Amino acid sequence: AQTVTQSQPEMSVQEAETVTLSCTYDTSESDYYLFWYKQPPSRQMILVIRQEAYKQQNATENRFSVNFQKAAKSFSLKISDSQLGDAAMYFCAYRIAGNMLTFGGGTRLMVKP
Amino acid sequence: DAGITQSPRHKVTETGTPVTLRCHQTENHRYMYWYRQDPGHGLRLIHYSYGVKDTDKGEVSDGYSVSRSKTEDFLLTLESATSSQTSVYFCATGQNNQPQHFGDGTRLSIL
């Protein structure tokens, strides 16, 4: 069975600073997808960024980027120039073909003004 | 977004009563899913559907049933609710190899 582990239940960052959220996963598959989702207090789940395992280049989306280490099975999210609106729960997720997402337990990010 | 509507948004009910949650989508996505979200567990898959009348179990399917009679609707039923089913429930949709889109969630409290 695949598992996704987020070892940081809570993180805090000063506004305009950079923060990195950790995620590790366990799988025997070679072809899969990794995601980071943001869940603000409204409870809506918002896709932040995705990474295909076959791509060596790390995905980036504006202020959000990932550090994908396939051999280490690590998929961390870096948020640059943190903003107050970045405060939320962040979930790392993994999926193989067939659309079965496996989520980590989440990291609550607090942004200090 | 994928135009996903969950109803109700909030519900409080008693142990032993039947409960049905509805998910409606307007984007004609083939796949639909029901997750529950609990502290420390992230989201866990309950059931999913890959087409009309085609459903399968997820990680935590015990005590739940689903039905999909139309492409746009996916129902989750708790036949006899228990306190352990108090949770926030999310519906999601997706296409093959595409990220899934989520609804806004339903907060269910079972007393």
Q: What is the per-residue pLDDT across B64-96, written as a single tens digit (0 to 9) for each?
A: 999 999 999 999 999 999 999 999 999 999 876
- The distance of Cα B48 from the centroid of its chain, to the nearest Å, equals 8
- Residue A100 above 50 pLDDT? yes
CB contact A11 to B (< 8 Å): no
Q: Which of B40, B90, B97 sits opposite A97 (nearest CB)?
A: B97
Preferred mutation among B5, B32, B33, B37 to probe A, highest tally of A CBs within 10 A? B37
- CB–CB contact B105 A43 (8 Å): yes
What number is the average pLDDT over the span B7-20?
96
Q: Which residues of B56-82 are buried (b: 16+ CB within 10 A; e: fewer)?
A: eebebbeebebebeeebebbbebeebe
B35 and B41 Cβ atoms separated by less than 8 Å: no
- Is the bond leading into A113 cis (omega within 30 degrees of zero)? no
Mean pLDDT computed over B35-57: 90
For A34, the closest chain B residue by CA position comes to B99
Long-range contacts of B83-89 (CB under 8 A, 24+ apart): B83/B15, B83/B110, B83/B111, B85/B36, B85/B110, B86/B110, B87/B36, B87/B37, B87/B38, B88/A43, B88/B36, B88/B37, B88/B38, B89/B6, B89/B21, B89/B34, B89/B35, B89/B36, B89/B37, B89/B46
Say what the pLDDT of residue A82 is.
Answer: 98
Residues of chain B contacting A6 with CB distance shorter than 8 Å: 42
Q: Ranked by mean pLDDT, which of B33-37, B38-42, B100-104 comes out on top?
A: B33-37
B97: pLDDT strictly greater than 60:
no
* CB–CB contact B42 A4 (8 Å): yes
What would the DSSP string read from start to end of chain B?
---EEEE-SEEEE-TT--EEEEEEESS--SEEEEEEEETTTEEEEEEEEEETTEEEE-TT-TT-EEEEEETTEEEEEESS--GGG-EEEEEEEE-TTS--EE---EEEEE-
Using a CB–CB cutoff of 8 Å, tell me whether B99 touches chain A: yes
Distance from CA of A52 to the nearest CA of B (A): 10
CA distance B71 to B62: 24
Closest CA–CA distance from residue A80 to any residue of chain B (Å):
23
Taking the Cβ of residue B100 and every Cβ of chain A, the question of whether any pair is shorter than 8 Å is answered with yes
